[in-house]
Chain A
Amino acid sequence: MTLLSLTDLAVTLRNRPVFSGVSLTIGEGELVGLIGPNGAGKTTLMRSALGLLPIQSGQSSLAAMSTADRARAVAWMPQAREIAWPVPVERLVALGRLPYLPISGKIPPADQEKIDAAIAYLGLEEFRARAASRLSGGEQARALIARAIAQDTPLLMTDEPIAGLDPAHQIATMQVFADLARHGRSTLVSLHDLGLAARHCTRLVLLAEGGILADGAPEDVLTDALLARAFGVTAWHQQTSSGPVFQPLEVI
């Protein structure tokens, strides 16, 4: 089943074309890493795919949906980890159930189970009653992922979720997405850490030069030629006994 389908998508912001001719399909059980240099339009691509930005031409399956349908098709985690009020973690995670709740706002037992599951999945039990806005950055990131998971959508889109996290939290976060993929739920994640992208993603999309430069398995995208062209760096890339290892080396 196709969870996201972009056809010949083009976006112009403030009279500046950001990208054009973007076509992309995401199916079940994928962890797709969206990589590209600063300013390539990764955030713009995700937001326009969601229908949060006006599209000049082309189509996005998500943008074509009604807001209610979209809320059941995709969960979105913006880059800014915004938690405006000191709500308890449990309440924060419960926000993921908003699209499903009855008018009264009461949380039915089935929904509460999903909330509890998401909290347990991210290991947040001990923070359940703590004010989410007062947690550390890593804990906040986990709480927000739990919120997105509680939304229980087949697709999760997340913008640089591991930026600013310590290595343990970075790895744990990518493992959560990989685990979701193994259970059939797909994630489109934008990130700058090519090493983590190489290790955890099932597929990489390289956005550069106003369009998709490459789309495929990590080893097919992270080639010397493409890296030099898109990022202007050299890298060391090796398949080891503990998985693929990728390390950028020099600026060309």
Chain B
Amino acid sequence: MRLFLILATLVTVLFAVSLTIGPAETGGLQSLAALLTGSDGPLPMVMREIRLPRALLAALIGGGLGMAGAALQGYLRNPLAEPGLIGVSGSAAFGAVLALQAGLTATATLGLPLAALLGAVVGVFLVMGLAGARGGSLTLILAGIAISALAGALTSLVLNLSPNPFAANDIVFWMMGSLADRSMTHLWLALPFIVIGAGLLASTARGLDALTLGEDAAETLGLSLSRLRLLVVLGTAAIVGGATAVAGSIGFVGLVVPHILRPFVGAQPSRLLWASALGGAALLLMADISVRVILPDRDLKLGVVTALIGAPLFLHLIFKTRRELP
């Protein structure tokens, strides 16, 4: 309970800090006052339409990705599982890009996140099919590399074929993710998917705990494995689909956060779910603050920061797993 309080406080503070950071250098308190009271001038517009959606999306997407990482790790019983690393985010990005370039998004408002969700579902099924439900580390990572590479190549292909001269530059966005200049429209697109996904994953808590003992033992504890798999796949895909559709693929959040928080929840997968949601929100808010503080004039991609934090940890985990396995 104390952990949750600490994390919730951290998220609140970072959220407030995120709101006060931007190229228009306005005082922190003045900015927050403008957000709440809507005083005259353009500042309330900046706060409500530019900074607020950005901070909300960082918290929402970070929370979703943290939770998805915790659920995937719990289900596959593998600390290396992460939506970005195993190619789910890449597949979601491909789905989103396909929908955007095909003009599907113009006819159906929810077309964009739905297409990303569909891409993510295909990605999860592929990786689980390739790696097997038991998900040995090596096969999981190899399957993830293959799916990421394929999804990345297809995404680049579609963007290069686009009649839009700017589309090819978007490749970086879809690969590394960014929250720059997102609006409330994007928030409303992603919100239902991430909330529903989080709900689905929350319902897997008990099953993930039981899986600590392996599939056989879990099944004889009254768990339906096929139902659990469906919930994990759909929950992860909904979150990653909603997040990737509006912010591109942001890697490593789902790897770093569960890893850091696991010791604080007694390694219990069920408690790790919600702790990782809060932790993920904090991490992505922090990353989004740092891209704006480090390089305020350039659109530094979020994925760059999360990868700089996550990749060394990933290497460490590979090293540890290698030592534990024959």
B270 on interface, CB distance cutoff 8 Å: yes
B76-107 contacts to A (CB < 8 Å):
77
Q: Verify B214–A82 contact, CB threshold 8 A.
A: yes
Binary per-residue interface labels of chain B (173-190) against chain A in the complex, 1 for a CB within 8 Å, 0 otherwise: 000000000000000000
The B interface, classified by DSSP as helix, strand, loop or mixed, is: helix
B165 within 8 A of A: no
Chain B: CB-nearest residue to A43: B216
Q: Are A80 and B214 in contact (CB under 8 A)?
A: yes
Which residues of the other chain, A, contact B223 by a CB distance below 8 angstroms? 67, 98
Chain B: number of interface residues, binned into ranges = 20 to 34
- 1/0 contact trace for A33-69 toward B, CB 8 Å? 0000000000000010010100000000000000110
Cβ-defined contact, B220 with A71, below 8 A:
yes
Say yes or no for B163: interface residue by CB 8 A criterion: no
Q: Among residues 255 to 280 in chain B, which have CB atoms less than 8 Å away from a CB atom of chain A?
A: 262-263, 266-270
* Smallest Cβ-Cβ distance to B212: which chain A residue: A84
Knowing A84-B211, A85-B212, A105-B205 touch, does A95 contact B267 (C-beta < 8 A)? no
Tell whether A75 is near chain B: CB-to-CB under 8 Å.
yes
Q: When each residue 188-199 of chain B gets 1 if its CB lies under 8 Å from chain A and 0 otherwise, what string results?
A: 000000000000
Query: Once the chains are docked, how many angstroms separate the CA of A67 from the CA of B224?
Result: 8
Task: Decide if A99 is an interface residue (CB 8 Å cutoff).
Answer: yes
Q: Are A95 and B220 in contact, with the CB atoms below 8 A?
A: no
B268 and A99 form a contact (CB under 8 A): no
Name the CB-closest residue of B to A68. Answer: B222
A147 CB within 8 Å of chain B:
yes
Known: A85-B269, A105-B270, A131-B267. A98 touches B214 (CB 8 A): no
With both beta carbons as reference points, the residue of chain A lying nearest to B211 in the complex is identified as: A84
Q: How far is the CB of B127 from chain A (nearest CB, A)?
A: 19
C-alpha spacing A74/B220, complex, angstroms: 8
| A to B contact number (C-beta, < 8 Å) | 79
Bound form: Cα–Cα A76–B218 in Å:
9
Scan residues 65-92 of chain A and give those whose CB is less than 8 A from a CB of chain B: 67-68, 70-71, 74-78, 80, 82-88, 91-92
B224 smallest CB distance to A (angstroms): 6
| Known interface pairs A84-B77, A84-B214; A98-B266 also in contact (CB < 8 Å) | no
Q: Do B269 and A151 touch across chains, with their CB atoms under 8 A apart? A: no
Chain A residues with CB below 8 A from B216, complex form: 47, 52, 76, 78
A71's partner among B209, B222, B262, B270 (CB-CB below 8 A) is B222
**Which residues of the partner chain B approach A67 to less than 8 Å between Cβ atoms?**
219, 222-224
B210 at the binding interface (Cβ < 8 Å): yes
Return the CB mask of A125-159 against B: 1 if under 8 Å, else 0.
00000010000000000001001000100000000
Residues of chain B within 8 A (CB-CB) of A151 are 221
Which chain B residues in 208-249 approach chain A with CB under 8 Å? Answer: 209-214, 216-217, 219-224
Cβ–Cβ < 8 Å partners of A96 in chain B:
221
| Cβ 8 A contact of B210, one of A80, A98, A131 | A98
B206 sits at the interface (CB 8 A)? yes
B267 near A87: Cβ-Cβ < 8 Å: yes
Q: Out of B213, B262, B263, which one reaches A95, CB within 8 Å?
A: B213
Closest to A84 in B: B77
Q: Which residues of A contact B212 (CB under 8 A)?
A: 82-85, 87, 92, 95
B112 CB, nearest partner CB in chain A, Å: 35
Residues of B within 8 A of A (CB): 77, 205-206, 209-214, 216-217, 219-224, 262-263, 266-270
A: residues with CB less than 8 A from B are 47, 50, 52, 67-68, 70-71, 74-78, 80, 82-88, 91-92, 95-96, 98-99, 101, 105, 131, 144, 147, 151
Q: List 14 A-B contacts (CB under 8 A).
A: A52-B220, A67-B223, A67-B224, A71-B222, A78-B217, A82-B212, A84-B211, A84-B213, A84-B214, A87-B212, A91-B266, A95-B212, A98-B206, A98-B222
Q: Which 4 pairs from chain A and chain B are nearest by CB?
A: A71-B222, A82-B214, A84-B77, A85-B267
> What 10 new A-B contacts, CB under 8 Å, besides A95-B209, A96-B221?
A82-B213, A84-B211, A86-B263, A86-B267, A91-B267, A95-B210, A95-B213, A98-B221, A105-B205, A147-B213
